[in-house]
Structure 1
Amino acid sequence: MTASLTCRAPDRASPVGQRPLGVFVTLMPQAYFVERIGGEHVSVSVLVQPGQSPHTFELTPRQMTALSSSALFFTIGMPFEKTLVEKIRTELPHLTVAQADDGIEKRIMATHDHEHDSSAPDPHIWMSPPFLRTIAKNVANALRLADPDNAQDYAANLDAVLVEIDSTDVRIRQILEPYEGSSFYVFHPAFGYFGDAYGLKQVAIETEGKSPTPKQLNGLIGRAKAEKVRIIFVQPQFDRKAAQAVADAIGGAVIPIDPLEKDVLRNLIEMAAKLEIALTE
């Protein structure tokens, strides 16, 4: 799958190959793959820093300045990127923009009632190992186009990464196969693709940036009790009060789980292990 590229860069004062290629990404999980595939040939910066939420992110003037001296920017499909890319095309026409999510068909995020869908696509594609293969290939292709002198290195590194993705996928399937069809409860609905990949269903407390109404919260509590749920997963980027309210009502616990960890493959395996515990109790 080829990465979709826009705003091709003209020749720069320092030719590619004499110094690392300056690359920006939106999220930490992207940085993991750019660094693994790019190796010594890239210098990677990240827009959304640890503890920040990409759903409320605002670009700083310093980051815009840093972008101006970069050669390549990988998007991932977060809503705020649309405005940023338009700004780049106007103010930074030399900067190449590559879509790491190119070729991925996205699911639609469910609303609180879990029966009616919103029109918003779910951007959390890095939570699915099968989609990570596409992301990695898009990264390698964009690096190759931006820096053809090191194309062989990018191809070799891609092959190694794809092997690790497949190994991670197999390991997670072994962990979660006994629980296929089960539901797991989260605060923010960032794990839909993960659930789809392994036959699980996420039940979210917060959707589309909105906490549940008292009626919806009571419905979630009733459902959690019926399904004998004892663990609610919550991301550190969000207020845990609503999740804690559900946990208190069902006599359960709130467990942290971060979909924005940089080492995405290790993080996915650790998530699977936490889910195994939650679904066993």
Structure 2
Amino acid sequence: MSRNLTSILSGILILAPLVGWGCRVDDREKNDGPMTVAVTVPPQKWLVSQIGGEKVSCVVLIPANQDPHTFTGTDADAARLARCRVFFSIGLPVENSPWCRAISQQSGLRVVSLADAAHFHRNSAPPVQKVAGETESHLDEAATRSDAGTEDASDHTSEGTKSPENERHQRDEHDHEVFLHTWLSPRRLVAMGEIVAQTLEELDPSNGALYRNNWKRLRSQLLQLDEELREKLAPLKGQEFFVFHPAWECFAADYGLVQVALESHGKEPSDREITELQRRAQRARIKVMLVQPQISSRAARAVAEAAGLRLVTVNPLAEDVPRELRHVAETLVSAYRERIKSSNAE
């Protein structure tokens, strides 16, 4: 079979189901029930539901027990997405899959990206993290850069530090398509929430007052959460904390911490890198390693056992974002206090 014929047949297979889905658009507009909205991950559902209330029904593409970086979707996912009024994307690979793009083009689905809003101060507060194999000097410079992440969220137009190391770090992010877990930052959630509230009101103006009032309340809660976490984590500023998967880069940048990740671009560390990480972890003042239920790792257990780190499971895809952020903050603070108390006793 020729390559051209194969491409044509593949396109037909992708688009054929959309003919029926596209016919449902008018029915979808006439529905008097809640507006059906699609999001990529559960934390987005929390954000949209807080603003939309009972006037919105949320469809989540990636379940909380799936790895969002490798999730590909099913026919059932495609059918659910095609029935939605709007899709709030966040920048994950599944959003660029052929079936997802085809639905957005053929079914009348409105796609609203939250990624740009969530990265609003990316240049002024680059993610602070260290991965296996990086040098001590890079870590020291990253800790210095973390100070920018604690500035007021309104100061997001700054171009930030232009050091060669900072530029190298940003190029590395671009080359490897590093995804920022932006929903783990209250300030970035505020930026995303603005767009969600505006979009819901545009699609459903009759309930605009409800959306605006809900958003005003939620915005205040998120800013209070940010201040609460900032105060709680202040004694840990500049400290390293260990994770397997680098999901907490935005959290670290916001509160002046240094995320040390075992995994880099989907790859586990080599034996040499594990030895180096074990050495670093033995000196750490935060004696825990954050792991997540979606990903298991031999390397995480090996480093934790050798360095005396306690493995703590946290879920970056948890729907209740504030609760999970508070859980992570309390975990880090408690571990830090235990280490300080132990050191003083010695």
In the superposition, the TM-score normalised over structure 2's length comes to 0.74
In the superposition, the TM-score normalised over structure 1's length comes to 0.90
1:24-39 equivalence runs, <5 A:
24-39=38-53
Contact 1:23/1:73 (8 A) holds in 2: yes
Q: Distance in 2 between matches of 1:163 and 1:223?
A: 39
Going from structure 1 to structure 2, the CA distance change for 1:104 and 1:252 (only over 3 Å counts) comes to: closer
Counterpart pick for 2:133 among 113, 117, 121: 113
Q: Distance in 1 between matches of 2:251 and 2:285?
A: 21
Going from structure 1 to structure 2, the CA distance change for 1:227 and 1:90 (only over 3 Å counts) comes to: same
Structure 2 counterpart of 1:213: 270
Counterpart pick for 2:104 among 59, 83, 89: 89
Counterpart pick for 1:150 among 188, 207, 211: 207
**Which has the higher Rg, Structure 1 or Structure 2?**
2
Tell me if 1:52 matches 2:66: yes
Counterpart pick for 2:191 among 134, 156, 159: 134
1:259-274 equivalence runs, <5 A:
259-274=316-331
Counterpart pick for 2:258 among 201, 210, 217: 201
**Residue 191 of structure 2 aligns to which amino acid in structure 1?**
T
Q: Give the gaps of 5 or more residues in structure 2.
A: 1-23, 139-167, 340-346
Alpha-carbon shift at residue 63 of structure 1 (Å): 1.0
Alpha-carbon shift at residue 127 of structure 1 (Å): 1.0
Contact 2:239/2:285 (8 A) holds in 1: no
String of CA shifts for 1:97-156, please: whole Å, max 9, x gaps: 111223333456865334564322433001111111001111111111221221111111
String of CA shifts for 1:7-53, please: whole Å, max 9, x gaps: xxx97235467211111110000000111100111111111112111
Alpha-carbon shift at residue 272 of structure 1 (Å): 0.6
Contact 2:180/2:249 (8 A) holds in 1: no
Q: Give the gaps of 5 or more residues in structure 1.
A: 1-9
- Give the stretch that moved more between structures: 105-114 or 260-269: 105-114
Q: Distance in 1 between matches of 2:284 and 2:241?
A: 10
Q: Distance in 1 between matches of 2:281 and 2:311?
A: 13
Going from structure 1 to structure 2, the CA distance change for 1:186 and 1:178 (only over 3 Å counts) comes to: same
1:247-266 equivalence runs, <5 A:
247-266=304-323
Please identify which structure carries the higher strand content: 1
Tell me if 1:222 matches 2:249: no
Alpha-carbon shift at residue 162 of structure 1 (Å): 0.4
Counterpart pick for 2:221 among 153, 156, 164: 164
Q: Over aligned residues, Cα RMSD in angstroms?
A: 2.1
Contact 1:128/1:193 (8 A) holds in 2: yes
Counterpart pick for 1:185 among 242, 250, 262: 242
Contact 2:104/2:110 (8 A) holds in 1: no
User: What percentage of residue pairs aligned between the two structures are identical?
Assistant: 33
Contact 2:41/2:62 (8 A) holds in 1: yes
Going from structure 1 to structure 2, the CA distance change for 1:219 and 1:127 (only over 3 Å counts) comes to: same
Tell me if 1:21 matches 2:35: yes
Structure 1 counterpart of 2:332: 275
Aligned pair count?
272
Structure 2 counterpart of 1:79: 93
**Residue 34 of structure 1 aligns to which amino acid in structure 2?**
V
Structure 1 counterpart of 2:81: 67
Going from structure 1 to structure 2, the CA distance change for 1:240 and 1:66 (only over 3 Å counts) comes to: same
Q: Distance in 1 between matches of 2:78 and 2:301?
A: 38
Going from structure 1 to structure 2, the CA distance change for 1:111 and 1:273 (only over 3 Å counts) comes to: closer
Contact 1:17/1:149 (8 A) holds in 2: no
SS at match of 1:243: helix
Going from structure 1 to structure 2, the CA distance change for 1:25 and 1:41 (only over 3 Å counts) comes to: same
Please identify which structure carries the higher helix content: 2
**Residue 76 of structure 1 aligns to which amino acid in structure 2?**
I
- Give the stretch that moved more between structures: 46-55 or 100-109: 100-109
**Residue 200 of structure 1 aligns to which amino acid in structure 2?**
L
